[in-house]
Amino acid sequence: MSAIHVTKPALAPLDAFARKLESAWESGVLTHNGPLVRELEARLCDYLALPRLAAVTNGTIALQLAIRALGLRGEIITTPFSWVATASAIVYEGCRPVFVDIDPETLNIDPAQIEARITRHTSAILPVHVFSNPCATGQIGEIAARHRLKVIYDGAHAFNVRLGGQPLALAGDVTALSFHATKLFNTGEGGACVTADPELDARIRRLRFFGHDDARNIVDDGTNGKMTEIHAALGLVNLEFAAPVERKRRSDYAHYLACLGSAPALRFQRIDPEACNHSYLPVIFPDEDSLLAAEQALLAESVVARRYFYPALNTLDRLFPYQPFPVAESISRRILCLPLYFELGIADIERISGIVVDSLARHSSAKRATP
């Protein structure tokens, strides 16, 4: 039996991808904001109900372009519970990440702790919609307005999330999306910057193209963040299947929760099932030992779960001077993401859940037996 990994990209049939590439092969246009990139941008705007969207090479570059387009300097407040790219994009743009602990239920930055970390050097807040669960965007927006700060959301997980019917990606000044192979919608590598502001969008488009304006004059301090036609073609054919992929995630998530519900020691992220895309299945264990035992039990059955996010970013003391953030550190030691992807079968979900539940039961009875 082949191994089950935490995720597997949802891919359109290979011949559909090949057909989509024919026009590029004929024209020889492979990049430079070609027709396939423009088509993908337009189709994503339709699908996600957005006024505009700038496709870029990846989600990390999307964060960097957002920081640069907003002219941010000094300190940027962010979360220690994320993928390292959230903090390293800040550092790459010459700014300093200032961490704020997370809420133990939502796993997002705790809005009540943000203001205490604002100094005269703070220029922005950069929260993450963790596992697509929307941040407290209203409260964060009020804090930002009070202190004249910009807000960038790391929406790498938050593809097609709506909050009260509105696209979540329109919250804040810019939202960075990722279309990496492991994300709900993928272009292999890819990402996008989303903003409601047409001038900011124009600046992001210049910055992703070396700082060129429409007349090919260099007018801005840019970089190369252009998506290629090959990646756009993959995105276009994958987008055809986005709706069934999203629907299956929703029902698989519910099935997992029903199967895991018999283990009272397990906890789950508090989510609003309507405002979330169920792209991940994070499970919070009572302690790190029980997580490690379950991880090993899964591995013994060729199931490869992943510790997202571990370790907490504030503990990366080669990158950042250590400061304690007890909630993020505790959660990151105890959270494991179980396999969840389009091709995963119901029987797999039941088998994986069974391994976790059995492992926990064995672990807690072993613990009771040791005085």
Residues that bind ligand PLP (CB under 6 A): 58-60, 82-83, 85-86, 128, 154, 156-157, 178, 180, 191
Q: Which is nearer to ligand PLP, 256 or 308 (CB)?
A: 308
What's the closest the beta carbon of residue 202 comes to ligand PLP, in angstroms? 23
Q: How far is the CB of 188 from ligand PLP (least distance, A)?
A: 10
Least gap, CB of 266 to ligand PLP (angstroms): 23
For residues 140 and 112, give the distance between their C-alpha atoms in angstroms, rounded to a whole number. 9
In this structure, what token pair is assigned to residue 74? 């000094």
Single-letter amino acid, residue 355: I
What is d(CA 285, CA 202) in angstroms, rounded to the nearest whole number?
45
For ligand PLP, the nearest residue by Cβ is: 59
∠ at Cα 155 (206, 37), nearest 5°? 40
- The number of angstroms, rounded, from the C-alpha of 95 to the middle of its chain's C-alpha atoms is 21
Is the Cβ of residue 191 or residue 222 nearer to ligand PLP in the bound state?
Answer: 191
To ligand PLP, the closest distance from the beta carbon of 297 in angstroms equals 26
CB 226 to ligand PLP: min, Å: 14
Nearer to ligand PLP, 306 or 333 (CB): 306
Q: Is the dihedral of CA 234, 235, 240, 242 positive or negative?
A: positive
Give me 103's structure tokens.
Answer: 């809420």
Q: Which residue has the tokens 């407290």?
A: 136
Between 50 and 313, name the residue whose CB sits nearer to ligand PLP. Answer: 313
CB of 304 to ligand PLP, least distance (A): 18
Peptide bond into 241 cis (omega under 30): no
H helix intervals, 133-286: 137-147, 198-208, 229-239, 242-260
What is the enclosing helix (H) or strand (E) of 24?
A: helix 14-27
N-term to C-term CA, the chain: 40
How near is the Cβ of 64 to ligand PLP at its closest, in Å?
A: 10
Nearer to ligand PLP, 85 or 144 (CB): 85
